[in-house]
Amino acid sequence: MAGTPRRRPARSGGQGATRRPRTTRPAGRAVTRNRPRSGASTSSTQRRSSVMTPRRWVVIGALTALLAVMLVPTGKSWYDQRQRLAELQKQVSAQEANVEDLRRQRELWETDEYVEAQARKRLKFVKPGERSYTVIDPEGEAPDVDPETGAVTAPSTQPWYEQISSSVSAADDPNSPQ
């Protein structure tokens, strides 16, 4: 028993021990290496693989369209954000300039001379013993003054609702002077 080879038990499946290994290659084709056989056949296979067939153009076009569909919204968002950022930077620079102007005005208002000058100019304040004169523009239109009473007369003596009514009727009349 020591000199006889052991036999393996038969496999279940009904084919027995004489089973051949299966191959993935179709029968009748020999195994070939990727070595070129001759120079002429190599250039024809390279030419054949480098030719753009309609199928390849369709695939490239579809991939390009897909890439465009994916990137266009992203690019638009980026562009919109850049525009918004530029607007905000302009707004910040304008606000910084405004802050500087307000600081300068605050410093001016802290001095007594500036406060006095503004009181004289805006409020027409005068010191005791001084006289204030107001010059009226001689070229400006003077209001109508009633010579008997000295009161300023209004351009119209109609009540406001009659003024609106006459204004509406004048606007509707194309022959009325404007």
pTM of the complete model beyond 0.95:
no
Cα distance between residue 169 and residue 173, in whole Å: 6
Q: How confident is the model over 15-41, as a mean pLDDT?
A: 58
Q: What is the pLDDT of residues 80-139, one digit of tens each?
A: 999 999 999 999 999 999 999 999 999 999 999 999 999 988 888 999 999 888 877 777
Beta bridge partners of 152: 145
Chain length of the chain: 178
Mean pLDDT (the chain) is 79
